[in-house]
Amino acid sequence: MEQHSSSVTRFLVLGALETLINQAIEHEPRARDRLQRLHGTAIRVRTERPHMVLYVLVYEDGVEVLPDFEGYVHVRVRGTLGAVLQWVLSPNAPLPEEDRIRILGPEDRIALLNAAISEFSLWGVVRNWLDDHVRLNDLLTLLRREDPQWLSRLQGLPEKMDGLAIELARQRLLQEDILSELHQLRHEMRRARRLDATCIVTGLLLLLAALATLTSLLPVATAISATTQALLLGSLGLTLLVSRLLSH
């Protein structure tokens, strides 16, 4: 289901791109004349970051944008998505060295393609559409007439945004302090667990040593008796165990 939705979205995007390019060609007769020389040319465009492949078929009356094409490809264009968009929208603008696009194909076709792209502007089509469908001046006039208070509300918007930014910064600092304290608490808990384990193991070993002394399994020091040694070892072991229990 997710793959089907992605395919539908890609189909709609490519369809919108095809319509936009053809409208730009209609508004630029010189570009249309150049496209007639490219009639029958298949162009593969491969973008990076994100990865995407599409095919542009050039005809004398427009272009067709396809997600797949099994015929012969005349020109191959490859580069980052931003570089390809800048090449289409503003072909004369310089590109950084790391964003250079690579165009492979016959030199004459590449020259005609670059010349055709430089003749039309997609921004012109977008601007004309906005002028035809979105009349900003009329919209602002209507808003002023219907509710003149919205202007005064917008005037305080920058101060509110500044206050919001300050509050977000304060919350971020508070979150960093909490995370630091939590990290320190975890470190202390791990240290306490290691100390508990060491004391418990040592205490049990001392108790076992005391028991081994009483059963003559452990040698007795020459200066003391077996009972005294067992009492000392047992007392020390119990002290370690009880001290860790009382610490909690």
Q: Measuring CA to CA, which residue among 88, 86, 87 is closest to residue 63? A: 88
The whole-number pLDDT of residue 99 equals 67
108 and 75 Cβ atoms separated by less than 8 Å: no
Residue 193 token pair: 């667990």
The whole-number pLDDT of residue 203 equals 84
Percentage of residues in the chain with pLDDT exceeding 90? 4
The whole-number pLDDT of residue 44 equals 92
Residue 50 token pair: 């994100």
Domain ranges of the chain: 2-129, 157-247
List the pLDDT tens digit at each of the 248 positions of the chain: 445 555 667 777 778 778 877 777 776 666 667 778 888 889 999 888 778 888 999 888 888 888 888 889 999 998 887 778 777 766 666 666 666 788 889 998 888 888 777 766 566 656 665 666 556 566 556 555 655 555 555 556 667 777 777 887 788 888 888 888 888 888 888 888 888 888 888 888 888 888 888 887 777 776 778 788 888 888 888 888 888 777 76
The whole-number pLDDT of residue 75 equals 92
The whole-number pLDDT of residue 144 equals 58
Question: What would be the CATH architecture of the domain defined by 2-129?
Answer: 2-Layer Sandwich (3.30)
Q: Measuring CA to CA, which residue among 83, 22, 15, 80 is closest to residue 52? A: 80
